Amino acid sequence: MSELNSIALKIISSGKGILAADESNGTMTKRLEAVNAKSTPESRLKFRNTLFTSSNMKSCIGGVILFDETIKQSIGSKSISEIVSESGAIPGIKVDIGAKTLSSSKEEKITEGLDGLRERLKEYYKLGARFTKWRGVYTISKSYPSKVAISTNAHALARYASLVQESSMVPIIEPEVLMDGHHNSKTCLDKTSEVIRKCFDELIDQKVDLKGVILKPNMILPGTNSEEKINSETIAKLTLECLIKNVPSEIPGIAFLSGGQSEIEATENLNMINLKNSSNFKMTYSYGRALQQSALKYWSKNQDDTEGTQKVFNHRARMSTLAAKGEWKKELEKI
Ligand code: 13P
């Protein structure tokens, strides 16, 4: 087993998932202000450290994705990477610098961050990171995602992945087809399939070791403005159809983003995916909002009640891990 393969498996095995705590300062400020909390480097650290030192980290969280600001912060003499490692999780880092307007298709985005990436990766490795994340973002409409958005983002994702592996870290490949829009689940299935296929074509062309990669896709869902209503069985069936057809079997695992689903929806859908999964892929979570939303709400009103916030987070982590094993039940949500 290669070193990269063993890091990837350590992050996503035994029902463990990933805590995506890598919101940029802009996004984190929006999240904090939405619950009437101040956004400062200190408040962002205080909330995140409360999560990282929660007791269920050990049994549930295999990796934590950090933002540049956080990986450079410390509490007393301990760096955040040390705190994350002590919790039993592997520290990771978001290395893209965000999605910018694509000049040739102005309503679409291209993710930037390749310039100087090799040097930044060396620094992050020294700071303790052993895996990384890069998110490509695609919108669905009548004419989108365009061929150019699909191919330029796939090319960038593969260039990123190759540089990350050169630096002895595991790249998370996140091509996120957004939920926003009027499209139905069939369109989401077709477009997500096209996006994922192109990403793997590029990864293979650029000689990325697929055994040392984690895929972070969206689930197959109808758009948020669609009239279509589908249950978790159909979501699981379509999601598995998409991934089993389009993802090479060498990939050790898949860790879904929550993408605007509620905490319970994201948990229920992941559980159903695992109940129906007939492939060898591990199917787990790499949730941001679906792991943190309730904890953030609680914390915003009780910022010194570490125990209370951790209780809320511990519950979400446990529910998500049960879902990653196909053992979640709605009754367990009552705390
Ligand atoms: P959500 O689970 O909130 O979609 O966040 C995951 C993530 O890392 C987005 O890049």
Percent of the chain having pLDDT more than 70? 100
Name 304's Cβ contacts closer than 8 Å, sequence gap at least 6. none
In degrees and rounded to multiples of 5, residue 105 shows phi and psi of: -155, 80
Q: Is the minimum distance from the CB of 328 to ligand 1 under 6 angstroms? A: no
Tens digits of residue pLDDT in 28-84: 999 999 999 999 999 999 999 999 999 999 999 999 999 999 999 999 999 999 999
Which protein residue's CA is at the shortest distance from atom 10 of ligand 1?
135
Whether residue 334 is predicted with pLDDT greater than 90 in this model: the reply is no
Sign of CA pseudo-dihedral 61, 67, 73, 77: positive
Domains of the chain in sequence order: 3-333 (3.20.20.70)
The three-class DSSP label of residue 269 is: helix
Cα angle, residue 161 at apex, residues 290 and 257 outer, rounded to 5°: 10
Centre of ligand 1 from the C-alpha of residue 47, in Å: 17
Which conformational region is residue 297 in: left (phi greater than 0), alpha (psi within -120 to 50 degrees), or beta? alpha
Name 173's Cβ contacts closer than 8 Å, sequence gap at least 6. 134, 157, 161, 199, 203, 213, 214, 215, 216
- Which residue numbers are catalytic? 174, 216
Residue 194 has a pLDDT of: 98
Distance CA 98, CA 113 (A): 7
Mean pLDDT over all residues of the chain? 98
Tens digits of residue pLDDT in 248-261: 999 999 999 999 99
Residue 247 has a pLDDT of: 98
Centre of ligand 1 from the C-alpha of residue 23, in Å: 8
